[in-house]
Amino acid sequence: MKELLTKQEEEMLNKMMDAEEESLREAAEFYRNVPIPESLQDMVARTIEEHTEKERGQDRMTRRKRKTVILIRTIGALAAAVILFMIPLNMSEAFAKQMQGVPVLGVFARVLTIRSYSYTENDVNVNVQVPEITLADDETAENVQTPADGGVAAGGAGAAAGDAAGDAEILADGGSGILADAGSAGSGETSGAEKIADVNAEILRIVETYEADAKQRFEEYKEAFFATGGTEEEWGGRTCEVNVEYAVTYQDNSRLSLILTTTESWVAVYAQRYYYNLDLQTGETLTLRDLLGENWKERCNECITAEIERRIAEEEDVVYWGYGPEADDYMMADEGFQSVSGQTNFYINENGNIVVCFDKYEIAPGYMGMQEFEITDAE
């Protein structure tokens, strides 16, 4: 494509610029006269506030995950006895209900709703469900596991074998998983239970802080609305929905996956997810490396890249920065999905597969929303 002006063209350009100067300045009036919606200021202020708060939240989580990486690496084979504890939005409520408080065969942890409440205050409708994870004590564990009599007994052997790396291989197998659990229960339980108590405390703190902040934000918005001359009529009975919910996406006797979601809707909908990946024995967060092995990055990246390309090819209105038609967009050259990292969010779905999640805006334009990619076995 021709990109350079000849001397003649350059002169032409100058002439045209002179000639059109006035009419273009007049046309600019139409540009500048576009009315600015009242909601712009609120929206921008709120978006900034939301974001800076979220950043603070992520800092906390990042620290948490780092600590976990070190610990989990040293524990190694203990990946066999794992709880993945996360909380997802797209989980059916029915399934969540079914999971909560129901001791599943051989499970060493339960998730219970310790608080559930709804109320309306100052035009804010609040619906909150606070989960709590409890580790089943020995007695419960015995009651729960029918096939486990042998398992628990054999657990001694497991303990004798110590942290043999071989234990890791039985990760996915229900019966043997119990072996590993029981085997290491003695040594891991105290600290695991304490850490899980920490997680519960963190969830509770997130929920309480969020609820208070959300109400305050709406209150401030309301004040600003009336302070700047808004009338009751214009306000028109606006309300705000504040929801906190959780769902267990996966649970077996070694892993539990759960996502906590906070949602706030008024000018727009703001949803945020908190993912926790915990090892039942240690109470620590699991990493993608723990679950997928040394090649975790390659595996994730391959799956995600292939899926992005498939979606672009097969689905309508799909845009991922840096892929498909956007790939040679000079503005987007350094944007878009490049690789998963230790900070990448994920949960385990009902098939026991890892699902990697990207926040809205992270790898695609905002309208694409949150993006999820199931990591399936390579052919």
Partner 1 sequence: MTKMVEELTSYITQNQNRYYRLAYSYVKEEQAALDVVQNAVVRALEHVSELRNREYMGTWLYRIVINESISYLRRSAREMPCEQEILNGAVQDRQTGQNTQFDDPQMIVTQKPEALYTAILSLPETMQTVIKLYYFEELTMPEIAAVTGMNLSTVKYRLYEGLRKLKLTMKEGVA
Which residues bind to partner 1, rule: CB under 8 A?
A: 2-5, 9-10, 12-13, 16-17, 20, 23-32, 34, 36-37, 39-41, 43-45, 47-48, 51-52, 55, 268, 316-317, 319, 325, 330-332, 360-362, 365-367
Judged by beta carbon, residue 284 or residue 326, the one nearer partner 1 is 326
Query: Least distance to partner 1 from the beta carbon of 316, Å?
Result: 7
Alpha-carbon span 270 to 50, nearest angstrom: 8
Judged by beta carbon, residue 237 or residue 366, the one nearer partner 1 is 366
Query: Least distance to partner 1 from the beta carbon of 205, Å?
Result: 21
**Residue 313 has which token pair?**
């090819």
Judged by beta carbon, residue 241 or residue 361, the one nearer partner 1 is 361
Query: Least distance to partner 1 from the beta carbon of 320, Å?
Result: 11
* Of 366, 377, 368, 359, nearest in space to 89 by CA: 359
Query: Least distance to partner 1 from the beta carbon of 160, Å?
Result: 51
Judged by beta carbon, residue 6 or residue 92, the one nearer partner 1 is 6
**Residue 184 has which token pair?**
């290491």
Query: Least distance to partner 1 from the beta carbon of 4, Å?
Result: 5
Alpha-carbon span 145 to 106, nearest angstrom: 5
Judged by beta carbon, residue 160 or residue 313, the one nearer partner 1 is 313
Query: Least distance to partner 1 from the beta carbon of 370, Å?
Result: 13
Write the DSSP symbol of residue 207.
H
Judged by beta carbon, residue 232 or residue 317, the one nearer partner 1 is 317
Judged by beta carbon, residue 211 or residue 326, the one nearer partner 1 is 326
Helices (H) and strands (E) in the chain, counts: 9, 8
Query: Least distance to partner 1 from the beta carbon of 321, Å?
Result: 8
Judged by beta carbon, residue 316 or residue 379, the one nearer partner 1 is 316
Query: Least distance to partner 1 from the beta carbon of 268, Å?
Result: 7
Q: Give the CA count within 13 Å in the CB-facing half-sphere of 191.
A: 9
Strand partners, 120: 125
Judged by beta carbon, residue 229 or residue 325, the one nearer partner 1 is 325
Q: Give the CA-trace dihedral at 30, 31, 34, 40, to 10 degrees.
A: -170
Query: Which DSSP helix (H) or strand (E) runs through 213?
Result: helix 174-227
Q: Give the CA-trace dihedral at 33, 34, 38, 40, to 10 degrees.
A: -120
Diameter over CA atoms, the chain: 94
In the sheet with 345-348, reading across from the earlier edge strand, the strands are 345-348, 354-358, 371-375
Per-residue CA distances from 82 to 17, 174, 247, 283, 379 (Å):
69, 12, 18, 9, 26
In the sheet with 109-121, reading across from the earlier edge strand, the strands are 109-121, 124-135, 240-251, 256-265, 269-276
Query: Least distance to partner 1 from the beta carbon of 20, Å?
Result: 6
**Residue 22 has which token pair?**
């006035």
